[in-house]
Amino acid sequence: MVGYLLSPIYLMKSRLLSLLCFTSATISSLAADRPNIVFIFTDDHCEQALSAYDPSRMTTPNMDRLAKEGMLFNRCYVTNAICGPSRAVILTGKYSHLNGFMTNGNSFNGDQQTFPKLLQKVGYQTAVLGKWHLKTTPQGFDHFQILPGQGAYYNPAMRVMGKDGKEVPTKVTGYTSDIITDLTLDWLKEKRDDSKPFMVMCQHKAPHRNWQPGPDYLTWLDDKTIPEPDTLYDDYKGRTSAASEQTMEIKRHLSANDLKLNKPRGLNPEQLEKWNAAYGPKNEAFEKAKATMSEKEIIQWKYQRYVKDYLRCVKSVDDGIGRILDYLDESGLAKNTIVIYSSDQGWYLGEHGWYDKRWMYEESLRTPLLVRWPGTVKAGSRNEDIVSNLDFAETFLDVAGVKVPSDMQGRSIVPLLKGEAAEDWRKSFYYHYYEFPGAHSVARHYGVTNGHHKLIHFYQKEEWELFDLKKDPNEMKSVHGDPNYAAVQKEMETELARLRKEFKVPEVDPLRPKRQKKPKAVKKK
Ligand code: CA
């Protein structure tokens, strides 16, 4: 029973499918000329640190190559800006409340429908290498080698797929971003069955906190000053109490470990020597100067230290992408392989004084999306439609000629990749964040945006925000309740209700239908 999985377009294209009976031999010969899929995925990589989007902080030549040779999506929004939940959305094409993985505290039910399983059914070879972060053992893969939990930046413990699909512990020496690239290349070159098309997920840990750079980049950027965002010294006025109650400020919440003022964990003596040679003198100079530095100077120092380490981590990922693209070229695979680059959500590089993600505000709502597909995607093209990680599963299935199951909630972006105008494409987007109480104390909220206006409801607080993104792109002043925006507010409320119904969002938050306590007064330091 494979026929029901194939899209009408593919059915028309393939003469073989006129047969009513399918043998496994037929399936693999059908699959043989279908595009391969290389999905390169990072953790917490924002557009502000990808030069095809924003060249002000660093250059990422290999990611930029994907943009130059493919399509850059300027408005890729995530449904729930946090690691595990984003991954569950990608696998299932369903919002968190339906796939069951709403916060990082949840555990993924791997028995449910996922796109890798559907690809396997039509003859694709599938593999996932690197960060998994869904707790349960991967299903739907011919091979995996994953990091347990968040994973380590150096010499990581890993779980490799053993016989019968079980996880077998192993340990690898080296820098994790390089290791994940090596594992991906090794699978592409040596481990897969090259008579079948493939889908490989190369999933980096970087640039997740605590941003430990690789051995080649420990002193890179030492001679540079990274520009500060306009909102680094945000005082959180003009919004609800939620913005001031978080615990993700560069000023107050970065630890000594985050700032590399402590001895790093997990490095071997050789790695540690290199590390100390790089950070030792920098830290000594800071410790000496600290007593005479103003509060602002300390924030500036922390910002530079934090952002540079983050950018250094991105640099190693970019190098790895270059190695993968080179291999696809050398092997001749490039012409029939779609390469997708994205991250599980965006991130704050000091905007609003923050690190971390979670909010429906632009920096974490957006995630990079670059797609190269020779012969289909026009080189150097740019798309402004609202697309989402909710669309990835549907897109991968469509690329492979598999009919998208009707219970998936996103939509294949293949028409957009082909440059076809989709008149009925979504004009608004629903977002929902659940992890409170939780790390960094971001209140639960849901909301709707159409790219011009954004309405957010912090529902346990009964507080609302409305932003005019054209007039206030940094989202500094909510206009909720402003009579000049009464009509817009009403319109956005109606749209929010419509989307909640369309996506089958339960009226009461399924995790904890309680009211959040009244805010405490914010301590100013
Ligand atoms: Ca993440």
- The mean pLDDT value for 169-185 works out to 98
C-alpha 430, offset from chain centre: 17
Nearest C-alpha neighbor of 248 from the set 358, 103, 102, 133: 358
Q: What is the pLDDT of residue 433?
A: 98
Given a contact cutoff of 8 angstroms between Cβ atoms, the answer to whether 391 and 410 are in contact is: yes
Distance from Cα 321 to the centre of ligand 1, integer Å:
19
Return the pLDDT at 30: 52
99, 153: one domain? yes
Quick one: 398 and 286 in the same domain? no
More reliable by pLDDT, 5 or 436: 436
Contact indicator for 80, 434 with CB cutoff of 8 Å: yes
328 lies in the same domain as 299: no
Distance between Cα 53 and ligand 1 center (Å): 19
First and final C-alpha spacing in the chain: 65
The arithmetic mean of pLDDT across residues 103-112, rounded, is 96
Span 96-111, mean pLDDT?
Answer: 96
Residues 293 and 144 in one domain: no
- pLDDT, residue 523, reads 54
pTM of this prediction?
Answer: 0.93
Residue 429: its pLDDT value, please? Answer: 98
For residue 44, how far is its CA from the centre of ligand 1 (angstroms)? 4
Say whether pLDDT at 235 is over 50: yes
Total of domains in the chain? 2
The two tokens of residue 516 are 């959040």
- Cα of 185 from ligand 1 centre, angstroms: 23
CB 121 within 8 A of CB 2: yes
Asked if residue 470 has pLDDT above 70, the reply is: yes
The backbone torsions φ and ψ at residue 290, rounded to the nearest 5 degrees and listed phi first, read -50, -45
Residue 5 has pLDDT above 50, yes or no: no
What is residue 19's predicted lDDT score, i.e. its pLDDT? Answer: 41
225 in a domain, yes or no? no
Spatial contact of 187 and 120, defined as CB atoms under 8 Å apart: no
Residue 117 lies inside a defined structural domain of this protein: yes
Q: What is the pLDDT of residue 518?
A: 57
pLDDT higher than threshold 80 for residue 519 = no
Do 183 and 118 share a structural domain? yes
pLDDT of residue 176: 98
Verify that 169 and 46 share a domain, yes or no.
yes
Separation of 482 CA from ligand 1 center, angstroms? 35
Percent of the chain with pLDDT over 70: 91
Neighbours of 330 (CB within 10 A): 9
Residue 175: the pLDDT is 98
Distance 59 CA to ligand 1 centre (A): 21
For 333-387, what is each residue's pLDDT tens digit? 999 999 999 999 999 999 999 999 999 999 999 999 999 999 999 999 999 999 9
For the cut 50, the answer to whether the pLDDT of residue 28 exceeds it is no
Domain at 134, CATH number = 3.40.720.10
Same-domain pairing of 111 and 200: yes
Split at pLDDT 50, 70, 90, the class of 33 is confident
CA dihedral (64, 66, 71, 75) in degrees, to 10, reads -60
Task: Flag whether pLDDT at 4 surpasses 50.
Answer: no
Chain centroid offset of residue 341 CA: 9
Instruction: Report yes or no: 73 and 334 within 8 Å, Cβ to Cβ.
Output: no
Cα-to-centroid distance, 208 and ligand 1 (Å): 7
CA distance 239 to 464: 9
Boundary residue ending a domain (375, 392, 423): 423
> Does residue 339 sit in the same domain as residue 271?
no
Residues 260 and 403 in one domain: no
Distance 233 CA to ligand 1 centre (A): 24
pLDDT at 22 over 50: no
Q: Separation of 217 CA from ligand 1 center, angstroms?
A: 22
Q: Which amino acid is at 370?
A: L
Residue 231, in any domain of the structure:
no
**Pick from 522, 524, 449: which is nearest to 491 by CA?**
449
- Any domain includes 75: yes
- Rounded CA-CA distance 128/37 in Å is 12
Which conformational region is residue 44 in: left (phi greater than 0), alpha (psi within -120 to 50 degrees), or beta?
left
> How much distance in Å is there from the Cα of 82 to the middle of ligand 1?
5
**What was the pLDDT predicted at 421?**
83
Reply yes or no on whether the pLDDT at 18 is more than 90. no
Q: Give percent of the chain with pLDDT exceeding 90.
A: 90
Burial category of 314 from C-beta neighbours within 10 Å (exposed 0-12, middle 13-18, buried 19 and up)? buried
Q: How far is CA 433 from CA 91, 336, 386, 475, 496, in A?
A: 18, 37, 19, 18, 15
Cβ atoms of 417 and 377 closer than 8 Å: yes
Enclosing domain of residue 258:
241-303
Q: Is residue 452 part of a domain?
A: no
Instruction: State how far the Cα of 47 lies from the Cα of 64, in Å rounded to an integer.
Output: 12
**342: nearest Cα among 301, 380, 307, 372:** 372
Using the predicted structure, report yes or no on whether residue 82 has a pLDDT greater than 60. Answer: yes
Q: Per the domain annotation, does 369 fall within a domain? A: yes
Domain assignment present for residue 115? The answer is yes
Judge if 112 and 209 occupy the same domain.
Answer: yes
Q: Which residues pair with 448 in a beta bridge?
A: 430, 455
Looking at the structure, do residues 371 and 246 belong to the same domain, yes or no?
A: no
| 91 domain-assigned | yes
pLDDT, residue 3, reads 38
Could you report the per-residue pLDDT of 410-449, keeping only the tens digit for each? 999 999 999 998 889 999 999 999 999 999 999 999 999 9
Q: Grade residue 25 by pLDDT with cuts at 50, 70 and 90.
A: very low
CA–centroid distance, 213 to ligand 1, in Å, is 17
Of 271, 303, 335, the residue at which a domain comes to its end is 303
pLDDT at 32: 60
Residue in this structure with the two tokens 């209140």, named with its chain if needed = 443
Q: Give φ, ψ of 469 to 5 degrees.
A: -70, -20
- Residue 195 and residue 124 share a domain: yes
Mean of the per-residue pLDDT values of the chain: 93
Which one-letter amino acid corresponds to residue 22? F
SS3 161: strand
Q: Tell me the C-alpha distance between 221 and 349, whole Å.
A: 16
Report CA(80)–ligand 1 centroid distance (Å): 10
Q: Which of 133, 134, 81, 69 is nearest to 107 (CA)?
A: 134
pLDDT tens, 34-65?
Answer: 999 999 999 999 999 999 999 999 999 999 99
The domain boundary residue, chosen from 423, 454, 489: 423
In this predicted structure, what is the pLDDT of residue 422? Answer: 85
